[in-house]
Structures are given as C-alpha cells and as structure tokens.
C-alpha cells in the first residue's frame, strides 16, 4: 500500500479528523499484515513546513517516524522519473504527484492512500481518498 505525504502528516501531527481512520493502517503494518510504501520525496514534503516554522521538535518527529518505523522509502531513480514524465505528459498531475504515482506503480502497490483529488485521474493503482473513507 502506497501512502502519499498527507497521510504521513495526518499521522505524525495527529490530525483530529483523519488520525483515527489511519490507526488501523499503521497497526496492520506493525503486525506485518501490510507493507506501507512511500517515495523519499515524502521526506521533503513533510519536513518543509516544520522547517519554515523552525519547529525542530516536529522535524525530529518526522525523521523518527520515517526512519524508525516499518515504512519503506523508495528512492527516486531514472525509471521513476521517466514514468513520472510520461504521467505528466498524459495527465494534469503536477510533478510531485507524478513522482508519487510512478513510485507506487513501480513498487507494485495495489492501493494508493491520499487526500489529493488529482490522483483520481489514475486508473491504477486503486486510489483511496481518505476524506471519502472518513465521510462514510
């Protein structure tokens, strides 16, 4: 299962609307029932805000979460960049979103968890919008 950067943010920052819905995901990962994957790009995306605010405690929390848990961080390589470029050419996905989508596809993820509606453009993997899950 691929998680977009927002899912990491909602978890680390304990988002009141989404955290409870995400806890079973993380428990399944801890129990080795589910592999959680994200791009190394997520590191940049999640720590930029805390860096702007000078919030070292939150930066440290993200670094601990990303390196001290069962999340598999996939490096950005030429194959991912090539596939991301193809996605950018074929859709209206922004560059970071295309990198995430290409990473998920190349990692063989069957599900993509996000809160970004732009990913609904993808036919594969199965995109799950977290606010839709919470709303039901």
Write down the domain spans for the chain: 2-135
Cβ–Cβ under 8 Å, residues 69 and 77: no
Structure tokens at 122: 């993808």
Encode pLDDT of 74-95 as tens digits: 999 999 999 999 999 998 899 9
Q: Which of 109, 125, 127, 106 is nearest to 117 (CA)?
A: 127
pLDDT tens, position by position, 32-78: 999 999 999 999 999 999 999 999 999 999 999 998 778 999 999 99
Q: Options 3.10.50.40, 3.40.50.1010, 3.40.50.300, 3.30.420.40; which CATH number does 2-135 get? A: 3.40.50.1010
18-36: per-residue pLDDT in tens? Answer: 999 999 999 999 999 999 9
Mean pLDDT across 1-10: 96
Task: Kindly report the pTM of this predicted structure.
Answer: 0.91
């Amino acid at each position: 299962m691929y998680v977009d950067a927002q899912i990491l943010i909602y978890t680390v920052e304990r988002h009141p609307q989404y955290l409870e819905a995400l806890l079973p995901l993380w428990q399944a990962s801890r129990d080795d029932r589910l592999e959680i994957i994200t791009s190394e790009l997520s590191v940049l995306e999640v720590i930029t805000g805390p860096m702007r605010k000078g919030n070292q405690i939150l930066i440290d929390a993200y670094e601990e979460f990303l390196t001290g848990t069962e999340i598999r961080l996939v490096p950005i390589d030429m194959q991912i960049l090539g596939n991301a470029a193809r996605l950018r050419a074929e859709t209206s996905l922004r560059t970071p979103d295309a990198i995430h989508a290409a990473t998920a596809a190349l990692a063989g993820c069957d599900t993509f968890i996000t809160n970004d509606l732009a990913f609904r453009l993808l036919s594969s993997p199965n995109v799950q919008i977290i606010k839709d899950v919470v709303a039901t």
